[in-house]
Structure 1
Amino acid sequence: MTLPCDPPRGGAAARDTGTAPPPSPRAPGGAAGPGRPRRALWLAAALVTVLLVLALVSAGVGAYRIPTADVLASVQHRLGLGGAPLDRVGESVLWNVRLPRVVLAVLVGASLGCAGALMQGVFGNPLAEPGVIGISAGSAVGAVAAIGLGLGFLGNWTVTACAFVAGLFTVGAVYLLSRNGGRTEVVTLILTGIAVNAFAGALIGLFVFFADSGQVNQITFWQLGSLAQATWPKVLAVLPCALAGLIAAPLYARRLDLLALGERPARHLGIDVERLRLALILVVALLTAAAVAVAGVITFVGLLVPHLLRMANGPGHRFLVPGSALAGAVVLAGGDLAARTVAAPAELPLGVLTALIGSPFFFWLLRRTRRRQGGWA
């Protein structure tokens, strides 16, 4: 009989005997059968295909309609692969309005989806998401403070920069406040994040109370989340942080699989749990703060996407982490397209749309988890 605190077979015991038993098909991250890698490839191919289709449709749909063939021809022309340019208005709409928005949706969605997968791996809970440790709320405080105080030291970039810095600062504060004896515990991190979220909400309310009507409108619009102000400079602003986080995240996939066994077994297998947790929180902070800084508060992407992929292909992080980035890009590209077209010529706030869809799913997820576990007690 193996107790929960014992190292899994194949670890220290295997090294003592010089042999290692075959991996259990139920081990976290292990292949449950020969069809698992093939299913992952099919899922990845399907997600890439859907993302490309959504990008083409989004680039052409709007008040100024551009046929898909013309979009492809213009892109080919810009890449020097033949094709033909559009007329002056069409080129301006496509390259200055539509494509920056599509690219920003892909980057923000990928960042939020990947951050959600990392958070759920760190906390060992499929209901975790980046906002748990106060990143979104902290970024919101920075943006609201910049708007409410009328700051403009960086011109149009002031709100974005303040949101990014405040998000990183909040994560650092949560981590430091939850340390005890040189270690952090998951429960302490969550409780500290809840307290920081509540404090951030109070600060936001205070800034709104003292703001004038114009500032209140701007604060409200930012908090609802939107990609309406997408530009190439904003894409370039989020690109370094997104690429750094998306490249670093898959490198931790194997250690996340071991962490899923529990902290004690992971330590027995040579994982520095504290260092791993700190590194992953920094990656999550980088991804989420950059996304929130340019797009506002967009909820539920980091919660829904990893859990759906986990249901489709299992808990292995080697596919879950990059797959969540890809699926997050698909979700946000599709959500932004729906936000622009459902109530045309008006535009729904993207954060409102994701919350409207995500909230019922979250409720269903809670009910499903409770039913499968036979209750919470």
Structure 2
Amino acid sequence: MPRSAGASRRLPRARASLLTLGLAAGVVVAALLAAGIGAYDIPIGDVVGSLLHRVGLGGAPLDRVGESVLWNVRLPRVVLAMLVGASLGCAGSLMQGVFGNPLAEPGVIGVSAGAAVGAVASIAFGLTFLGNWTLIVCAFVTGLITVLVVYLLSRAGGRTEVVTLILTGVAVNAFAMALIGLAIFFADNAQITQITFWQLGSLSQATWPKVLAVLPCALAGLLLAPLYARKLDLLSLGERQARHLGVDVERLRIVLVLVVALLTAAAVAVSGIVAFVGLLVPHLLRMAAGPGHRFLVPGSALAGALVLLVADLAARTLAQPAELPLGVLTALVGSPFFFWLLRRTRRKQGGWA
């Protein structure tokens, strides 16, 4: 009996390890393909050779045009796609763990809409006090402020109930959308075009400074998140059980909501609103390898990076020479899956009542 129990425990671990290796390999392959494919095609071998040459491990540089395309256009976009995807995927897994609901995602607590308010306001009112960093900083700051407002409004009697937090997030989301509409009303045609393009989500304006802008926040959040995997596993047993096992549920919720805000606000600030990555990725991994957060949290970061690399590659190649908005593409794929997920969850629970 103990031997079979040990074997049953090793099976999910082996599956999780294989999935992690597969996801990591997929990210590397997708990154190389994304760096090489486009209006100016670069063979994968030449991409690898240029990368090795830059780090002093042999290889050979490309011609002047090839080097410029690869290092000034493609690679910043590839790295930004990985950072944004990893941030959204990881944030989604944390949200679902905190709320104990596979239908939760970062937008629930208003961080995406809040970041959008800052970005849209900076465009509509022509704010330039930080130069090219103005939009990014405004989006990041308003995203964090929105999360803090949602948290403070939903807190009562020294505690924060999940249902109250979600409903407060819905109300704040609606208010944020009203502010966005007001900013658009006062904007001119050129600003409206820029706002619309940003709201649809895109990585077409990726540069190394934008990568550096999101890198500290993304790395901080991605490194902190796995440290709370065990506590999330205990929280999944129920709040009362988690408290009996020594988990400070309220403190855990505060910390993880702030980590989610850090990850999501940084991602939204540089990419616009990219829907459904934080919802779908953790749920798919949970279906494949179980609910354990020791795999789910880092696995969601890897899978999110892979999904956004593939989505961004499709966005800029499916309709060449035009480029599809990234957020539109992820929503087109994610919406039907979300509907299926709702039906599946409802069927398993025998209804919502």
Matched, 1:204 2:180: yes
Q: 1:284 is matched with which residue: 260, 263, 286? A: 260
Q: Which residue of 1 aligns with 2:76?
A: 100
- CA–CA distance in 2 between the matches of 1:60 and 1:251? 36
Map of 1:250 onto structure 2: 226
**Which residue matches 1:3?**
none
Q: Report the secondary structure of 1:34's partner residue.
A: helix
Cα pair distance change 1:31/1:278, threshold 3 Å: farther
2:12 corresponds to? 36
Alignment partner of 1:362 is 2:320: no
Task: After TM superposition, give the deviation of residue 31 of structure 1 in Å.
Answer: 9.3
| Residue 156, structure 1, aligned to residue 138, structure 2 | no
The equivalent position to 1:340 in structure 2, one of 302, 305, 316, is 316
- How much has 1:33 moved relative to structure 2? 3.3
Alpha-carbon distance in 2 for matches of 1:179, 1:71 = 52
Query: Would you say 1:168 and 2:168 are equivalent positions?
Result: no
2:97 equivalent in structure 1: 121
- The yes-or-no answer on 1:263 pairing with 2:253 is no
Q: Work out which of the residue numbers 171, 192, 198 in structure 2 matches 1:216.
A: 192
Deviations 1:310-349 (A, max 9, x none): 0000000000000000000000000000001111111001
How big is the shift at 1:156?
A: 1.1
Match of 2:107 in 1: 131
- CA 1:373–1:136 in structure 2 vs 1: closer, same or farther (change >3 Å)? same
Query: Residues of 2 paired with 1:31 and 1:207: CA distance?
Result: 59
Confirm whether residue 326 of structure 1 aligns to residue 302 of structure 2.
yes
Query: TM-score, length-normalised on structure 1?
Result: 0.92
> How far apart in 2 are the matches of 1:151 and 1:286?
23
Percent of aligned pairs sharing the same letter:
78
Please list, as runs of the form range in 1=range in 2, the aligned pairs for 1:7-156 lying within 5 A after superposition.
Answer: 33-156=9-132
Distance in 1 of aligned mates of 2:143 and 2:25: 33
Are 2:274 and 1:298 aligned?
Answer: yes
The superposition leaves residues 279-317 of structure 1 with CA deviations (integer Å, 9 ceiling, x where unpaired) of: 000100000000000000001000000000000000000
Deviation at 1:89, TM superposition (A): 0.5
> Structure 1: which 5+ runs fail to align?
1-21
User: Partner letter of residue 90 of structure 1?
Assistant: G
Q: 1:173 offset after TM fit, Å?
A: 0.3
Shift >4 Å, 4+ stretches:
none
Letter in 2 for 1:136: S
Residue 34 of structure 1 and its aligned partner are, at CA, apart by 2.3
Q: Distance in 1 between matches of 2:7 and 2:86?
A: 25
Higher relative helix content: 2
The CA RMSD over aligned residues, in Å, is 1.2
What aligned pairs does 1:309-320 form with structure 2 within 5 A after superposition?
309-320=285-296
Q: What is the alpha-carbon distance in structure 2 between the residues aligned to residue 366 and residue 117 of structure 1? A: 17
CA distance in structure 1 between the aligned counterparts of 2:17 and 2:290, rounded to whole angstroms = 13
Deviations 1:240-282 (A, max 9, x none): 0000000000000000000001111111111110000000001
2:327 corresponds in structure 1 to 351
Question: Residue type matched to 2:220 in 1?
Answer: A
Once the two structures are superposed, residues 213-255 of structure 1 have per-residue CA deviations (whole angstroms, 9 ceiling, x without a partner) of: 0010010000000000001111011000000000000000000
How many pairs align?
350
Task: Give SS of 1:270's match.
Answer: coil
